[in-house]
Structures are given as C-alpha cells and as structure tokens.
C-alpha cells in the first residue's frame, strides 16, 4: 500500500502539497498531485491540502481535526507559565485521571520527530513498579555510602524506599534509540501535564539505574534498540510555589 493516497476526484491541482513536500516525492501530472518514490511520511501534504484529498492509510487520523495556531495562546501568559514551572517532589495521594493520562501521551505522540519517524516509546510503570523501585533504591544506597566519602552533597542524602518515584501516582518512562526525539516528546508531555494542574519530576537517577543495572532495563520491556531517556514522575503537587525564581543573565552570541 502507498504511504499516502491521493483522491484524484478531490484533488484540485493547486500544487500546495508539491511545493511543501520535503522529499520532492510529489509532482503534478495531468493537473493532479501524484506520488513518486522518496516519501518520508512527514504528513505535510496531509496537513496542507485544502480539500482533504490526501490520506495516510497506515496512520491514525482520528484526532486530526482543524489546526489551532499557537499564536492563539497569549504569548505573555505562556512565557510567565513557563517561567513559573517548578520540579515537583511532593505529591498528593490522588490518582491521575485516565483522560489526563491520555492527553499527556497524545502530546508526546505529536512532538516533532525526524521524518515523522515517531521512534519514541512510552512505558507506564504499573504492576512491577514497586519491584523496580526497590532494585533502584538498593543500588543507590550502596552508591551513596561509597560516594558520600568523596561528594560532600551526598553526605546528607537519605535514600528512602520512595526515593525514586516519590509516592507519585504516575510514572512514565520515555525511550528511544537516540536522545533528541524522546527529550522533545518529554517536554511536550510536561507542558500538557502542567496545563492539567499536574506537577512533574524528571528522574535522571532512574535513567542511570537502567544503565547501571541491566535487570531494571529488562523489566521495562523497552522496544528493541531503545534506551530510557527520561523518567517522568507525575501527580498533583502537594506544594505551591509563590514566586518565579531568578536566573542568571542569558549568554547570547552572534557568529
């Protein structure tokens, strides 16, 4: 089956898809858009067609409604919201509703990936979460005992039984074969979570555990060739921050 299918009856030959095709895989033939080899399935032709003549049979198009431009969001409010976000380490014992989880995952699914590859995995820790956290806690307790002799900040670090997941109701591991695409997806997911009134902690310590202890990674059942790029601890914040913290002056260079 073709990667994209063009309904010749609906195609008006405007050429918008041809001009916007990243791979030059479309051309006009007899006044109709026509596909040739080289399509990378980026979806630009689907998005730009004014008559809906383009279909992508292998893709889920159920959520593909009319676009909403980011410019509809007040830029000053958006910037202040970004500045206001804080990493959350204290969570209420309140579950995250399934609809909110769906929106968080959907935001990650629609993050940009090269060639629309979508080579990003999402793993929700569920029945084996306690077992996985226990393995990580045991590993880090040994590490802190040794590291505290050399790293001053570790001397007062207490590795509790909930050190990794903070008793939060939701843990999502975002994985991929590279670091860029999963990182972008994680950022999109955090913005969505924050907009839903949820707080997020990125647990770099957990991702380190998946490297230090192969058993932890194996228990995640990640797609072949994937590594854990981010571990998102998500829930309703049990703490409220009143002010935006300061930052050092930005350093911008022109070359």
Structural domain count, the chain: 2
Confidence of residue 151 (pLDDT cuts 50, 70, 90): low
Lowest mean pLDDT among 63-72, 119-128, 158-167, 182-191: 63-72
Lowest mean pLDDT among 97-106, 122-131, 133-142, 174-183: 133-142
Structural domain boundaries, residue 22: 5-55
- The enclosing domain of 129 has a CATH number of 3.40.109.10
Please give the C-alpha separations between residue 48 and each of 17, 52, 75, in angstroms, as whole numbers: 6, 9, 25
How is residue 6 written in tokens? 């063009």
How is residue 9 written in tokens? 């009856």
The residue with tokens 């907009």 is 195
CB 33, CB 6: distance < 8 Å: yes
Give 54's strand partners. 6
Buried b (16+ CB within 10 A) or exposed e, 147-183: eeeeeeeeeeeebeeebbbbebbbbbbbbbbbeebbb
SS3 content of the chain, % helix, strand, coil (to 5): 35, 15, 45
At 249 the pLDDT is: 94
Q: Residues 225, 190: one domain?
A: yes
- The enclosing domain of 32 has a CATH number of 3.30.70.20
CB 197, CB 190: distance < 8 Å: no
Alpha carbons 197 and 238: distance in angstroms, whole number: 11
The residue with tokens 């077992």 is 131
Q: Residues 29, 89: one domain?
A: no
The length of the chain is 255
Mean per-residue pLDDT, 180-190:
97
Confidence of residue 218 (pLDDT cuts 50, 70, 90): very high
Q: Residues 100, 193: one domain?
A: yes
Q: Residues 88, 207: one domain?
A: yes
With pLDDT > 70 as the criterion, what percentage of the chain qualifies? 95
Q: Residues 92, 178: one domain?
A: yes
Q: Residues 129, 193: one domain?
A: yes
| pLDDT tens sequence across 18-35 | 999 999 999 999 999 999
CB 47, CB 66: distance < 8 Å: no
At 117 the pLDDT is: 77
- Reference 17, options 41, 40, 50; nearest CA is 50
Confidence of residue 155 (pLDDT cuts 50, 70, 90): low
Query: Within a domain: residue 163?
Result: yes
Mean per-residue pLDDT, 29-43:
93
- Reference 168, options 237, 241, 65; nearest CA is 237
Q: What is the full DSSP assignment across 99-153?
A: HHHHHHHHHHHTS--GGG---EEEEE--TTHHHHHHHHHHHHHHHHHHHTTT-GG
Q: Residues 81, 145: one domain?
A: yes
CB 36, CB 3: distance < 8 Å: no
CB 253, CB 202: distance < 8 Å: no
At 147 the pLDDT is: 47
Q: Residues 32, 120: one domain?
A: no
At 20 the pLDDT is: 96
Residue 101 has pLDDT above 60, yes or no: yes
């Amino acid at each position: 089956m073709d990667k994209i299918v063009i309904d010749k009856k609906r195609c008006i030959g405007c050429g918008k898809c041809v001009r916007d095709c990243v791979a030059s895989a479309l051309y006009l033939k007899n006044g109709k858009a026509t596909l040739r080899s080289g399509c990378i399935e980026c979806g630009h032709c689907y998005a730009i067609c004014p008559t809906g003549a383009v279909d992508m049979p292998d893709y889920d198009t159920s959520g593909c409604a009319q676009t909403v431009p980011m410019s509809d969001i007040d830029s000053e409010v958006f910037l202040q919201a970004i500045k206001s976000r804080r990493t959350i380490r204290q969570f209420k014992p309140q579950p995250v509703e399934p609809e909110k989880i769906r929106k968080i995952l959907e935001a990650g699914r629609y993050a940009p990936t090269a060639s629309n590859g979508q080579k990003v995995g999402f793993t929700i820790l569920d029945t084996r979460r306690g077992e996985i956290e226990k393995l990580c806690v045991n590993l880090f307790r040994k590490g802190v005992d040794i590291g505290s002799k050399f790293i001053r900040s570790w001397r007062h670090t207490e590795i509790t039984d909930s050190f990794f997941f903070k008793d939060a109701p939701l843990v999502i591991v975002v994985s991929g074969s590279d670091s860029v695409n999963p990182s972008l997806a994680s950022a999109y997911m955090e913005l969505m979570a924050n907009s839903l009134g949820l707080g997020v902690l990125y647990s770099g310590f957990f991702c380190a555990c998946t490297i230090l202890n192969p058993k932890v990674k194996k228990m995640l059942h990640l797609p072949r060739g994937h590594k854990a790029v981010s571990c998102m601890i998500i829930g309703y914040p049990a703490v409220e921050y009143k002010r935006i913290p300061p930052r050092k002056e930005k350093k911008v260079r022109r070359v």
